[in-house]
């Protein structure tokens, strides 16, 4: 229930004030995993190039009006009534915020030649 | 690096072999190098590279590689009636016709902004793409990829719906579902420049994919927005949508769905249909006589593909993240999971050889395709493919709904 409240637009917008607080950046290994996860697994719905599909586009342009805290909340809690699931079982709050910030600034490409 | 040189070597040798047999270099493409059938050919999507790996299922080897197909996330493929040409539908709206024998792109069109698949008519003359952006279907001449008709999936407010679950029906008809409009449509393309669309409304919330039964009689759309499925008996004089399995999870809290299940697996075996339960670690068993639920099989994660081996004796299941290193085999007479395999990291797709003696499994994060004997479940081979996703064999050319 607290989750739904957190999702509410008002709170998400209010949270914009705090998004300058950078979370601890993930380790390089974890960052690689997260980038792969977003490209490949979130890509099931949002497209590998994040241009959208069953889920909306996640390009920098498409997300221009969405604060990173709001995006992080959506990642962690999902959006009830839509196919967007909560990813809290697989991501920490800090990782979600890091992903959200990366999305807001244009998401990194995967490294070439990933693990064999 | 090593992987790629191996691939190009494999591709090179088959061309070279052809080149030796003719006076012209094979690269000129004019002379058919060797006589060859297409029944044991197929393609594997390399989603990250926008490429296709061409394979031979008798020799279990890579025969070639084709690049330049754009964004192939969620790409799908249909085949021409003669099983020579593959039509590849890319996420970015690219539609590409590939000649499996000369290993070349023959035609390519950017037909939409965001697309997830397509179908081909029984007579092989029409290829139809299903699109998210702009929502609707487009009808193409299969020989030239000339656009014949653009059929928007229009909703009440004039907005367009995303299209899912497209399948071909007899008599140049196509059936599909509208994710945003709770509707199923049948487009009669007997006059392909002026399709006539029949719409069935109020079929249930958010149809996310659909399947056509192997005999073409039954179209079933899975519903994301509610527990249940929408079914259309296409042999009725006046087909009507029936809701089946309504509220199959009543009183249970659904789990988060990390990936939409795919229904187009021919998961009809004998008199039962096997369907992925959405938001549950279960495969539902439905009696196709009564369309009632007759059982559920607990499985290792959220099912994505629930696919019957062509003879119906087994059903193979793969799973969404985080359980996508596993594949489970259900024995249909006993309706039990009889084996759990771990083919590799991130299993995305499975494809049976035409008579089901082998199954090919794409392991995206291990950059390989694993081939198993379906009877012994022993590994028969491994092919190195860059981030493989969908696997499509030419036997699909002879199946309705594919």
Any CB–CB contact under 8 A between A86 and chain B? yes
| Closest alpha carbon within chain A to B255 | A85
| Residues B176, B164 contacting (CB under 8 angstroms) | yes
| Token couple for A26 | 């993930």
B72, B73, B116, best to mutate vs chain A, most A CBs in 10 Å: B73
| Residues B190, B202 contacting (CB under 8 angstroms) | no
B377, B383, B384, B388: CA torsion to nearest 10? -70
Tell me the three state secondary structure of residue A14: helix
pLDDT tens-place string over residues B48-98: 899 999 999 999 999 999 999 999 988 999 999 999 999 999 999 999 999
- Residue A116 distance to chain B (closest CA, Å): 6
Q: Is A78 in Cβ contact with B260 (below 8 Å)?
A: no
Q: Is A113 in Cβ contact with B74 (below 8 Å)?
A: no
Any CB–CB contact under 8 A between A78 and chain B? yes
Mean pLDDT of A12-35: 70
| Residues B48, B91 contacting (CB under 8 angstroms) | no
By the 10 Å C-beta count (0-12 exposed, 13-18 middle, 19+ buried), A58 is classed as buried
Q: Is A40 in Cβ contact with B259 (below 8 Å)?
A: no
Confidence (pLDDT) at B322: 92
Q: What is the pTM of this model?
A: 0.87
Q: Is B48 in Cβ contact with A110 (below 8 Å)?
A: yes
Q: Is B258 in Cβ contact with A47 (below 8 Å)?
A: no
ipTM: 0.76
- Residue A50 distance to chain B (closest CA, Å): 10
| Residues B122, B396 contacting (CB under 8 angstroms) | no
Q: Is A116 in Cβ contact with B367 (below 8 Å)?
A: yes
pLDDT tens-place string over residues A62-76: 999 999 999 999 999
Confidence (pLDDT) at A23: 60
| Per-residue H/E/C for chain B | CHHHHHHHHHHHHHHHHHHHHCCCCHHHCCCCCCCCCCCCEEEEEECCCCEEEEEECCCCEEEEEECCCCCCCCCEEEECCCCCEEEEECCCCEEEEEECCCCEEEEEEECCCEEEEEEECCCCCEEEEEEEECCEEEEEECCCCCEEEEEECECCCCCECCEEEEEEECCCEEEEEECCCCEEEEEECCCCCCCEEEEECCCCCCEEEEEECCCCCEEEEEECCCCCEEEEECCCCCCCEEEECCCCCCCCCCCCCCCCCECCCCCEECCEEEEECCCCCEEEEEECCCCCEEEEEECCCCEEEEEECCCCCEEEEEECCCCCCCEEEEECCCCEEEEEECCCCCEEEEEECCCCCEEEEEEHHHCEEEEEECCCCCEEEEEECCCEEEEEEHHHHHCCCC
Q: Is A47 in Cβ contact with B74 (below 8 Å)?
A: yes
Confidence (pLDDT) at A44: 86
Chain B partners within 8 Å of A48 (Cβ): 47-48, 71, 73, 91
- For chain A, the farthest-separated pair of C-alpha atoms sits apart, in whole angstroms, at 45
Mean pLDDT of A23-36: 89
Tell me the three state secondary structure of residue A76: helix
pLDDT tens-place string over residues A49-108: 999 988 999 999 999 999 999 999 999 999 998 899 999 999 999 999 999 999 999 999
β pairing state of B94-99 and B314-319:
unpaired
- Residue B398 distance to chain A (closest CA, Å): 28
- Residue B6 distance to chain A (closest CA, Å): 14
pLDDT tens-place string over residues B240-280: 999 998 878 777 788 889 998 888 766 788 899 999 998 89
Q: Is A83 in Cβ contact with B257 (below 8 Å)?
A: yes
Distance CA B16, CA B26 (A): 7
| Residues B125, B135 contacting (CB under 8 angstroms) | no
DSSP state of A15: G
β pairing state of B268-269 and B379-384:
unpaired
Distance CA B228, CA A54 (A): 20
Confidence (pLDDT) at B308: 94
Instruction: List the strands of the sheet with B126-133, edge to edge.
Output: B114-120, B126-133, B136-141, B147-152
Residue spans of chain B under pLDDT 50: 1-28
Give helix then strand counts, H and E, for chain A.
6, 0
* Sign of the C-alpha dihedral computed for residues B132, B137, B138 and B143 taken in this order: positive
A27: confidence class by pLDDT, cuts 50, 70, 90: very high
Q: Which of B151, B107, B159, B144 is nearest to B129 (CA)?
A: B151
Q: Which of A92, A76, A37 is nearest to B345 (CA)?
A: A37
Confidence (pLDDT) at A106: 92
Q: Which of B230, B240, B310 is nearest to B268 (CA)?
A: B310
Identify any residues that bridge with B286 across adjacent strands, giving them in sequence order.
Answer: B273, B293
pLDDT tens-place string over residues A4-21: 444 444 444 444 444 445
CB atoms within 10 A of CB B88: 26
| CA distance to B73, B228, B229, per residue, from B182 (Å) | 25, 13, 11
Nearest CB to B132: which of A49, A53, A113?
A: A53
| Gyration radius from chain B CA atoms | 21
Distance CA B134, CA B104 (A): 29
| Residues B326, B347 contacting (CB under 8 angstroms) | yes
């Amino acid at each position: 229930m607290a989750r739904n409240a957190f999702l509410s637009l008002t709170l998400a917008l209010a949270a914009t004030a705090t998004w300058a607080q950078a979370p601890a950046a993930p380790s390089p290994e974890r960052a690689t995993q997260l980038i792969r996860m977003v490209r490949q697994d979130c890509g099931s719905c949002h497209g590998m190039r994040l241009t959208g599909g069953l889920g909306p586009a996640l390009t920098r342009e498409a997300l221009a009006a969405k604060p990173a805290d709001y995006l992080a909340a959506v990642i962690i809690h999902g959006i009830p009534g839509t196919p967007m699931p909560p990813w809290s079982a697989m991501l920490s709050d800090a990782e979600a915020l890091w992903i959200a910030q990366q999305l807001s600034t244009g998401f990194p490409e995967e490294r070439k030649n990933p693990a064999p | 690096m090593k992987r790629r040189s191996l691939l190009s070597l494999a591709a090179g040798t088959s061309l070279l072999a052809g080149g030796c047999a003719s006076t012209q270099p094979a690269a000129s493409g004019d002379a058919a190098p060797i006589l060859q059938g297409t029944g044991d050919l197929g393609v594997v999507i390399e989603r990250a590279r926008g490429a296709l790996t061409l394979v031979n299922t008798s020799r279990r080897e890579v025969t070639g590689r084709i690049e330049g197909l754009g964004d192939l996330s969620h790409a799908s493929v249909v085949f021409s009636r003669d099983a020579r040409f593959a039509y590849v539908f890319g996420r970015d709206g690219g539609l590409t016709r590939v000649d499996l024998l000369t290993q070349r792109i023959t035609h390519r069109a950017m037909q939409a902004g965001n697309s997830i698949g397509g179908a081909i008519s029984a007579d092989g003359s029409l290829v139809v793409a299903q699109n998210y952006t702009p929502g609707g279907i487009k009808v193409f001449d299969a020989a030239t990829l000339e656009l014949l008709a653009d059929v928007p999936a229009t909703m009440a407010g004039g907005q367009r719906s995303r299209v899912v679950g497209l399948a071909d029906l007899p008599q140049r008809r196509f059936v599909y579902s509208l994710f945003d409009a709770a509707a199923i449509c049948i487009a009669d393309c007997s006059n392909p420049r002026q399709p006539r669309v029949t719409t069935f409304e109020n079929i249930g919330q958010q149809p996310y994919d659909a399947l056509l039964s192997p005999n073409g009689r039954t179209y079933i759309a899975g519903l994301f927005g509610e527990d249940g499925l929408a079914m259309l008996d296409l042999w009725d004089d006046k087909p009507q949508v029936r809701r089946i399995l309504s509220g199959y999870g009543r009183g249970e809290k659904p789990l988060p769905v990390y990936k939409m299940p795919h229904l187009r697996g021919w998961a009809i075996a004998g008199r039962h249909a096997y369907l992925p339960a959405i938001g549950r670690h279960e495969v539902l068993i439905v009696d196709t006589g009564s369309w009632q639920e007759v059982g559920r099989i607990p499985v290792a994660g959220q099912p994505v593909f629930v696919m019957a081996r062509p003879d119906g004796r087994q059903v193979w299941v793969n799973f969404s993240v985080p359980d996508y290193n596993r594949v489970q085999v259900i024995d249909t007479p006993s309706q039990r999971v009889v084996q759990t395999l771990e083919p590799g990291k991130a299993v995305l797709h499975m494809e049976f050889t035409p008579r089901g003696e082998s199954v090919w499994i794409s392991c995206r994060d291990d950059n390989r395709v694993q081939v198993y004997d379906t009877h012994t479940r022993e590994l028969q081979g491994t092919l190195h493919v860059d981030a493989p996703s969908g696997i499509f064999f030419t036997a699909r050319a002879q199946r309705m709904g594919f």
